[in-house]
Amino acid sequence: MCGIVGIVGVKPVAERLVDALKRLEYRGYDSAGVATIHDNKLDRRRAEGKLFNLETKLAGEPLPGLIGIAHTRWATHGVPNETNAHPHFVDGVAVVHNGIIENFAEIKEELGAEGAIFVTQTDTEVVAQLLAKYRRQGLGRREGMHEMLRHVTGAYALAVIFEDDPSTIMAARSGPPLAVGYGDGEMFLGSDAIALSPFTNRIAYLQDGDWAVLGRDGAQIFDLAGNRVERPIQISSATAYMIDKGNHRHFMEKEIYEQPEVISHALSHYVDFAEQKVRPVDAGIDFANLRGLAISACGTAYLAGLVGKYWFERYARLPVEIDVASEFRYREMPLSRDQAALFISQSGETADTLASLRYCKDNGLKIGAVVNVKESTIAREADAVFPILAGPEIGVASTKAFTCQLAVLASLAVSAGRARGTLSEADEKQLVHSLIEMPRIMSKVINAVQPQIESLSRDLSKFKDVLYLGRGTSYPLALEGALKLKEISYIHAEGYAAGELKHGPIALIDENMPVIVIAPFDRFFEKTVSNMQEVAARGGRIIFITDEKGAAASKLETMATIVLPEVAEIISPMIYSIPIQLLAYHTAVFMGTDVDQPRNLAKSVTVE
């Protein structure tokens, strides 16, 4: 989750840019850099590792200039070294970038055929190369920026400066956030308001598809079509020591919107974007020679593990035993040393999960930890640590940690499949390609379904009971949807495997029972539709979450149909998490509950 900062100032900016980057260190990074324009010449300093290394360089080689951009990089394409560190320069163009340019390989091949010489391994360099190409062709800076944005695909935040215009920063957003700060004769750009808090509290947030031109006197903001738009200037309460909600009402909403960005961050640790392969996993667990895998966790993390069970068994043909940690630790499960155990916890301190880990360790199993806090107890006691890299999650009801857990488990399942010979190289490439597409698709889904779900949630908030149904990996999502709704809205909700409906829960169905059905058009679809028909025949109110093919194939009348794009089966659980999170969130908002800190719940459960 890289960090971006920019300043168009009236006094030297390099030191201020680095100070702003320090406030983004919580996002994680492995290199850093800063670029300025001075005497009509671009110059930069970059360094691998922490910001201290960059500061040391700047102390020995100061970087003058009243305009500049800076960046902390988390490596996706290319190793973390100084060459791949941002900003990237091409023929008088400097670029910093957060996110993934999905079609970079095609653009790179096209530009290479035209004679472009690439000096980094990054996807970002194609942005600088495209802008330089359009300038050589005679396009102005704004026209070149607009043309570049029409050619790149992916989830990205960009900041650009041109050597021949030492008074302007250009920026663009499609997914990862960007905030524009308004000062007195100065303008600022940052990944969030925290980075800009020492400079100004007057902040405007770019929306997806926006691109902006910042000068010392203000900002002009355009949509992707090139039309001028206005974004409201807000007074931010962010400080250098506080994670801010930005333009969101609650941390939970902010964290839902952060998911495309943090999943990019997580995937980059496990996937080689350029080669479309999984990276070698932590050597603490040898998936190739396992007879079985035990998974244990609590709450939402357990449901992530349940999805993971489907993936490990399907893609790696690896038998999986899974149980909630509070049961696992006491049921004295027979274990053997040719098994491994995987424990999932956002905090890494969950008491029952830790006790289960120690039981497995005492039985001689190799231990894997899927955690968000790498310094946690669970991580320290594991043989292999698989960080989810979601960043701080403030809302008690987990959202981005859940989908990052899923992204990591999907990557591990593909890695295990390759190690065990159950996936071919072609299978791996296809699955990884789908994972790479996921952040862009998630970003589009969030913006597309938000208005419909907000309206629907007003009606849902009037009911006292809700059922969720799903098959395959949509079954754990049904459980997660029900858990989210009752966690924060206090509406009673239950999730069921769709095939179990007729084995009891169907007795509850009447006109006062909304039934939320999660059913992409996959190999389970027809069976799930037959269960929907059973609900419809008894007057149940169906909320149908499906894709374009599913919506066309189902002829049933629904309370609402939420249509998502058609996606590969491996990324379906992450994509379909978005509407169930938003349904719970907006329903709770309408009911006036404390969304971020629901009653009786804690973020980290360190007691039994």
DSSP notation for 127-185: HHHHHHHHHHTT--HHHHHHHHHHH--EEEEEEEEETT-TT-EEEEEESS--EEEE-SS
Cα–Cα distance between 159 and 173 in angstroms, integer? 9
From 178, 223, 155, 207, select the one nearest 437 (Cα to Cα).
155
> Pseudo-torsion of CA 200, 263, 322, 430, nearest 10°?
180
Cα–Cα distance between 322 and 225 in angstroms, integer? 49
List the catalytic residue out of 50, 374, 429, 603.
603
Q: What is the DSSP letter of 368?
A: E
Cα–Cα distance between 393 and 397 in angstroms, integer? 9
From 139, 127, 140, select the one nearest 94 (Cα to Cα).
127
Which residues does 531 contact at the CB level (< 8 Å), separation at least 6? 469, 498, 499, 501, 502, 517
Which residues does 551 contact at the CB level (< 8 Å), separation at least 6? 544, 561, 563
Residue 230: half-sphere exposure toward Cβ, Cα within 13 Å:
3
Q: What is the DSSP letter of 291?
A: S
From 131, 103, 101, 102, select the one nearest 116 (Cα to Cα).
131
Q: 603 an active-site residue?
A: yes
Return the structure tokens found at 380: 């320290």
From 31, 35, 91, 102, select the one nearest 63 (Cα to Cα).
35
Cα–Cα distance between 481 and 543 in angstroms, integer? 12
CA distances from 208 to 10, 257, 448, 593 (A): 30, 11, 11, 29
Cα–Cα distance between 445 and 575 in angstroms, integer? 8
Q: 298 an active-site residue?
A: no
Cα–Cα distance between 134 and 144 in angstroms, integer? 5
Return the structure tokens found at 200: 């100004």
List the catalytic residue out of 2, 298, 360, 404.
2
Cα–Cα distance between 12 and 214 in angstroms, integer? 17
Return the structure tokens found at 548: 């374009």
Residues that are catalytic: 2, 603
